Amino acid sequence: MNILNELTQSVENAFAAADLAGEAIILKASSNPDFGDYQINGIMGAAKKLKKNPRELAAQVANILADCPLLGKAEVAGPGFINLTLSTDFIEKNIQAALLDNRLNVELPENNQTVVIDYSSPNLAKEMHVGHLRSTIIGDALSRVLQFLGANVVAQNHVGDWGTQFGMLVAYLVEQQKIGNENIALADLEQFYRNAKVRFDEDAQFADTARQYVVKLQSGDDKVLKLWKYFVKISLQHAQNIYTRLNTLLTPENVRGESFYNKDLQPTVDELLQKGIARIDNGTKLVDLPEFPERDGKTPVFIVQKQDGGFLYASTDMACVRFRVNELHANRIAYVVDARQSLHFAALFSVCRKAGWLPENVLAEHIAFGTMLGKDGKPFKTRSGDTVKLADLLDEAVSRAADLVRQKNADLSNEEVTKIANAVGIGAVKYADLSKIRTSDYVFDWENMLSFDGNTAPYLQYAYTRVASLLRKAEGSVSGSLNIREPAEHRLGLCLLQFEEVLSSVAKSSCPHYLAAYLYQVATLFSHFYEHCPILSAEDSVKSSRLQLAQLTGKTLKQGLNLLGIEVLEVM
């Protein structure tokens, strides 16, 4: 149940009854509990427009709302605001309903949507590094939330598995007579790739050979294709390892790399030319983008095929849009990619709209994110200035978490420590990212993210185990009637019922930090409630009522963290 939607309905009805049909109601959750649970801010605007007294108008609407079964109070405040407080009866009933439902009373508002989410999408033949972290975990959280709200989510891992880098690698391996050795590890490949790049830049003949291999690859030469498949295979095995460790939903079935679109590239470009959208300039095929601001005094262009006939990242992405619309039947396509590619996506969407490949009823979005910075404010690197490998980063997270877990509880077995350290270490890295506004850069800071205080994964995981332990102690007494008596109960109860409202806002904005902030609020309100409202020592009826609030807190924290891809533990 989405309270905001339900209330909106009631307020709209009240507006209609007060001859305000069609006026903006502007309904929001209150930021301060002294002003009730929700606030109507639209009366002043409507009064001005209709030349009426705002306070009188507010009183009229508040009067009508007094009969609304959702509400306990509707009070006029200030120059014409209306503060709404939910009725305790409504909160009590809905908490009990949520406890009886394994979806916690969350409906399926996205169930008519097919959403393609393009995420992770690393370039292959290299180990995954920190640059791939944000896309992978933000994309995964969005997938989970949309899926939970009923959307048909199609995850697409658009890996870079095609093009010049593979030609270079093949040329280098042939030159070094390394062909036939089927035991090349990914770390070796990476070194070969670096060497190949040096050869490519210093030796024109080597560069030519590399380009010929690209042509051979693209035209399906058996030998080259076999090598390429091998490179792709070991790169993807490595990526899948990382995905599993990161507790993401990605599987090999989600991989649909650039190579998949190879056969569609020429027809895509040809169609653009036929439609008069692309033109040929000195052999280069391009689309003019007069709708974008000039760069260096010139109209920007979108190059779709090079002079030598080669295709680019952009060509593949156009073919890919067509596939996602026509074959995957997307209503919405979300690209979870670094903010530095924003021009590429703006141009891509614009060209695809012009070509009719992206119909107006299909939403295309670049879900951009900022850069991970080190404490020095520069892009996050190792001490020696190299890019940080993701596998090393995850090792460090788990080992730092293990130290903390041992410090907190020296009696745990090694096996227990490993289990907890995995959940806490990986959870901390993910949560530190997901709790930040995604479009900003953020500083990657081990101490902060692993702290058991503040808005961190360990704090929330710990809050969950505290609830779990409370419920274990109370064994058996969670039933009977639920009565909201104290303000701390009202606030926690209200917050728990706002789960769907928050998930919907995450789905719309593609901003997981709303969910993180919400879970932190749940944990904080629970701790306030726990301090002010004795539970286990209370008399039976009070105890069982409060335990129900605790139980829904636990379930909400668990489900919410799960939607961020973060594990909880019963004991820590």
Minimum distance of ligand ARG from residue 166's CB (angstroms): 14
State yes or no: residue 457 binds ligand ARG (CB under 6 A).
no
Q: What is the CA radius of gyration of the chain?
A: 28
Task: Decide: is 317 part of the binding site for ligand ARG (CB under 6 A).
Answer: yes
How far apart are the C-alpha atoms of 69 and 63, rounded to whole Å? 13
Candidate ranges 8-16, 121-129, 193-201, 486-494; the one touching ligand ARG (CB under 6 A): 121-129
CA dihedral 422, 424, 428, 434 (to 10 degrees): 90
Here the tokens at position 330 are 């997307």
Q: Which of 290, 254, 11, 60 lies closest to 139 in space, CA to CA? A: 254
Choose which of 118, 127, 140, 489 interacts with ligand ARG (CB under 6 A). 118
Q: How far is the CB of 98 from ligand ARG (least distance, A)?
A: 38
> By CB under 6 A, is residue 520 in contact with ligand ARG?
no
Q: Which is nearer to ligand ARG, 113 or 123 (CB)?
A: 123
| Listed residue (114, 119, 113) closest to 156, CA to CA | 119
Query: Which stretch, 117-125, 213-221, 349-357, 533-541, contacts ligand ARG (CB under 6 A)?
Result: 117-125
Q: What angle do CA 560, 565, 571 make, to 5 degrees?
A: 75
- The answer to whether the beta carbons of residues 492 and 557 sit under 8 Å apart is no
Which tokens hold the place of 568? 């909880």
Determine, following the binding rule CB under 6 A, whether residue 127 of this chain makes contact with ligand ARG. Answer: no
In the complex, least distance from residue 337 CB atom to ligand ARG, rounded to whole angstroms: 5
- Residue 111 or 342 with smaller CB distance to ligand ARG: 342
Residue type, 46: A
CB contact at 8 A, 146 and 109 = no
Residue 322 interacts with ligand ARG (CB under 6 A): yes or no: no
Report the distance separating Cα 210 and Cα 200, nearest Å.
Answer: 8
Q: Which long-range contacts (CB under 8 A, 24 or more apart) does 12-21 make?
A: 14/61, 14/64, 14/65, 14/68, 15/46, 15/61, 17/64, 18/57, 18/60, 18/61, 18/64, 20/46, 20/50, 20/57, 20/61
Tell me the closest approach of the beta carbon of residue 106 to ligand ARG, in angstroms: 30
**Binding to ligand ARG by residue 335, rule CB under 6 A?**
yes
Site for ligand ARG contains 235 (CB under 6 A)? no
CA gap 235, 126 in Å, rounded? 7
| C-beta closer to ligand ARG: residue 200 or 335 | 335
Q: State the nearest-atom distance from the C-beta of 124 to ligand ARG, in Å.
A: 9
The answer to whether 522 and 560 are in contact (CB under 8 A) is yes
Cβ at position 317, least distance to ligand ARG in Å: 5
Of the candidates 105, 121, 209, 553, which one interacts with ligand ARG according to CB under 6 A? 121
- For ligand ARG, the nearest residue by Cβ is 121
User: Which of the residues 21 through 80 are near ligand ARG (CB under 6 A)?
Assistant: none
CB of 394 to ligand ARG, least distance (A): 19
Query: Any residues with CB less than 8 A from the CB of 483 and at least 6 apart, and which?
Result: 88, 92, 541, 542, 545
Nearer to ligand ARG, 358 or 488 (CB): 358
Does 143 sit near ligand ARG (CB under 6 A)? no
DSSP symbol at 282: T
Task: For ligand ARG, give the closer residue by CB, 85 or 218.
Answer: 218
Candidate ranges 65-73, 119-127, 262-270, 467-475; the one touching ligand ARG (CB under 6 A): 119-127
92 binds ligand ARG (CB under 6 A): no
In the bound state with ligand ARG, the residue whose beta carbon lies nearer, of 184 and 368, is 368
The amino acid occupying position 423 is A
On the 0-12 / 13-18 / 19+ scale of CB atoms within 10 A, 31 is exposed
Shortest distance (Å) from residue 123 CB to ligand ARG? 5
**Beta-bridge partners for 389:** 129
Measured from the Cβ of residue 49, the count of other Cβ atoms closer than 10 Å reads 11
From candidates 134, 144, 158, 238, binder to ligand ARG by CB under 6 A: 158
Residue 160 interacting with ligand ARG (CB under 6 A): yes
Which is closer to ligand ARG, CB of 335 or CB of 459?
335
Q: Where are the alpha helices (DSSP H) in 81-221?
A: 88-99, 133-148, 164-175, 186-202, 204-218
Residues forming beta bridges with residue 303, ordered by sequence position: 286
**By CB under 6 A, residue 254 contacts ligand ARG:** no
CB of 168 to ligand ARG, least distance (A): 17
Q: CB under 6 A: which stretch of 74-82, 115-123, 421-429, 510-518 binds ligand ARG? A: 115-123
- Rank residues 126 and 199 by Cβ distance to ligand ARG and give the closer one: 126
- Find the distance separating the first CA and the last CA of the chain, reported in whole Å: 32
The kind and range of the H/E element at 451 are none
Residues composing the chain: 572
Among 62, 337, 467, 561, binds ligand ARG (CB under 6 A): 337
Closest contact distance (angstroms) between CB of 226 and ligand ARG is: 23
The nearest distance, CB 48 to ligand ARG, in angstroms, is: 48
Considering the complex, what minimum distance in angstroms separates the CB of residue 527 from ligand ARG?
41
CB of 345 to ligand ARG, least distance (A): 8
Regarding 123 and contact with ligand ARG (CB under 6 A), the answer is yes
CB of 135: closest distance to ligand ARG in angstroms? 8
| Cβ atoms 11, 23 nearer than 8 A | no
Give the interface with ligand ARG as residue ranges (CB under 6 A): 118, 121-123, 158, 160, 317, 320, 335, 337
